[in-house]
């Protein structure tokens, strides 16, 4: 919990609306240990909620007008809950408007509301601040208006908000992790059935460290949808031969190799990446359960290489950071985390080496790119919930 932010949103709400908020929600960001871009291909992922997130103060408004106040952006926005026609790509308020609209689409009786929010979750770092905002909105409105919707309904409504009001055809991992996270537990999620298992992340003398490249290339959103379309093209080719194939989740490398000649070379590489990334998720979980951090390291390095050469979603800054880390004996693997083209690397670093690692990487990265790195120590937390 961040008491400074909590006090900030409470005092801002009282200042803007002349009364105390009716409820406070904390909605976390997430990390993903392995399984990048497999979620919209209905495969496997291994995410967890983290101890950085967005804090939201809610209250009912009079009539149908809803007013949203972003403390960090120093902006506010009003809209009619019954006629939410404002859609400007990737503006922060679309995540909120979209979520409330999707809840209404489920038949929920959402009325006008006021909301103030702020957070300590870095934007553009691959920790899914968008899903945190969507899921916190869903949890808050579900509680404020006694909607009695299930967590699964809230998760799916949050995902659809991103599809329909932001234009990013994301999978369900981010929203699931932000809602269903559990302290000190990672989630092995089957993105097709939504079956999931929790198990403790036990790294012993090592811990997780995020390194923010502080670059965010504009390709991320547009190329995300391109990658999804390329995967769907591959599925369409294979479905002619294997009617049971409905997603790359159903595809084996043997099937892909058998019909490689029918694929555009780029589409083949995209599909190869996804099929093997699903295998990496399962192998990673097995290695964690056996406490085999050397195998964990190999899998993370392999995933990074595949994201660079097959799915082509990294960038020079990320490649430099991951290569630096993967050459260190004290680091048990590093890879890019998130949609791509910037953001963070996720690293498993020996505790006694952390400060040295930060200094060495910072110095070399600064010399190479003239950019400073931000580092985030990661603790795994509970998912979105009502605090008061």
Q: Which residue has the higher pLDDT, 222 or 66?
A: 66
Q: What is the pLDDT of residue 240?
A: 97
174 in active site = yes
Pair of tokens at residue 256: 């892909």
Q: Is the pLDDT of residue 86 over 70?
A: no
Give every CB contact of residue 296 below 8 A, 6+ residues apart in sequence: 284, 287, 288, 332, 333, 348
Q: Which residue has the higher pLDDT, 129 or 351?
A: 351
Q: Tokens 């010399």 belong to which residue?
A: 367
Decide: helix, strand or coil at residue 242: coil
Q: Where are the beta strands (DSSP E) in 113-264?
A: 113-119, 185-190, 196-200, 206-216
Which of the four pLDDT bands, split at 50, 70 and 90, describes residue 341? confident
Decide: helix, strand or coil at residue 68: strand
Give the pLDDT confidence of 123-175 residue by residue, as tens digits: 767 788 899 999 999 999 999 999 999 999 999 999 999 888 888 888 899 99
Q: What is the pLDDT of residue 297?
A: 97
**Arithmetic mean of pLDDT over the chain:** 94
Give the pLDDT confidence of 29-85 residue by residue, as tens digits: 999 999 999 999 999 999 999 999 999 999 999 999 999 999 999 999 999 998 876
Chain centre distance of CA 238: 29
Q: What is the pLDDT of residue 88?
A: 58
Q: What is the pLDDT of residue 124?
A: 67
Give the pLDDT confidence of 355-368 residue by residue, as tens digits: 999 999 999 999 99
Residues 245, 246, 252, 257, CA torsion sign: positive
Q: What is the pLDDT of residue 386?
A: 96
Instruction: Give the predicted TM-score (pTM) of the model.
Output: 0.91
Candidates 51, 76, 146, 174; catalytic one:
174
DSSP state of 122: P
Q: Is the pLDDT of residue 221 over 70?
A: no
Pair of tokens at residue 259: 């019909």
Q: What is the pLDDT of residue 224?
A: 82
Q: Rounded CA gap, 179 and 109, in Å?
A: 21
Which of the four pLDDT bands, split at 50, 70 and 90, describes residue 121? confident
Give the pLDDT confidence of 225-273 residue by residue, as tens digits: 899 999 999 999 999 999 999 999 999 999 999 999 999 999 999 999 9
Q: What is the pLDDT of residue 37?
A: 94
Give the pLDDT confidence of 22-45 residue by residue, as tens digits: 999 999 999 999 999 999 999 999
**68, 96 contact by CB (below 8 A):** yes
Q: Which domains can be identified in the chain, with CATH numbers?
A: 3-200 (3.30.230.10), 206-377 (3.30.70.890)
Average pLDDT over residues 199-218: 89
């Amino acid at each position: 919990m961040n008491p400074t932010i909590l006090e900030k949103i409470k005092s801002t709400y009282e200042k803007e609306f002349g009364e105390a908020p009716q409820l406070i929600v904390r909605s976390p960001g997430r990390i993903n240990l392995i399984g990048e871009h497999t979620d919209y291909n209905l495969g496997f992922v291994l995410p967890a909620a983290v101890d950085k997130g967005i804090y939201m103060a809610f209250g009912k408004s009079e009539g149908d007008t809803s007013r949203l106040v972003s403390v960090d952006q120093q902006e506010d926005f009003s809209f009619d809950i019954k006629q939410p026609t404002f859609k400007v790509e990737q503006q922060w308020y679309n995540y909120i408007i979209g979520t409330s609209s999707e809840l209404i689409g489920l038949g929920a009786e959402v009325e006008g509301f006021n909301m103030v929010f702020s957070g300590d979750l870095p934007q553009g770092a691959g920790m899914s601040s968008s899903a945190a905002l969507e899921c916190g909105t869903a949890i808050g409105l579900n509680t404020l208006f006694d909607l009695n919707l299930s967590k699964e309904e809230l998760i799916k409504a949050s995902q659809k908000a991103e599809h329909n009001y932001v234009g990013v055809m994301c999978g369900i991992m981010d929203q699931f992790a932000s809602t269903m996270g559990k302290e000190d537990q990672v989630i092995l999620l089957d993105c097709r059935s939504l079956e999931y298992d929790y198990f403790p992340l036990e790294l012993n003398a090592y811990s997780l460290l995020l390194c923010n490249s502080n670059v965010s290339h504009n390709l991320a959103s547009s190329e995300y949808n391109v990658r999804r379309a390329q995967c769907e093209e591959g599925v369409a080719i294979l479905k002619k031969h294997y009617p049971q194939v409905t997603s790359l989740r159903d595809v084996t490398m043997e099937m892909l190799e058998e019909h490689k000649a029918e694929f555009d070379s780029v589409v083949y590489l995209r599909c190869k990446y996804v099929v093997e990334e699903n295998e990496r998720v399962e192998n990673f979980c097995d290695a964690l359960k056996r406490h085999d951090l050397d195998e964990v390291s190999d899998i993370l390095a392999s995933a990074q290489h595949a994201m660079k050469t097959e799915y082509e979603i990294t960038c020079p800054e990320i490649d430099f950071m991951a290569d630096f880390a993967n050459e260190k004996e004290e680091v048990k693997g590093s890879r890019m985390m998130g949609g791509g083209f910037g953001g963070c690397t996720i690293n498993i670093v020996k505790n006694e080496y952390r400060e040295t690692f930060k200094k060495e990487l910072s110095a070399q990265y600064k010399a190479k790119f003239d950019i400073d790195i931000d580092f985030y120590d990661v603790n795994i937390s509970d998912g979105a919930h009502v605090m008061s």
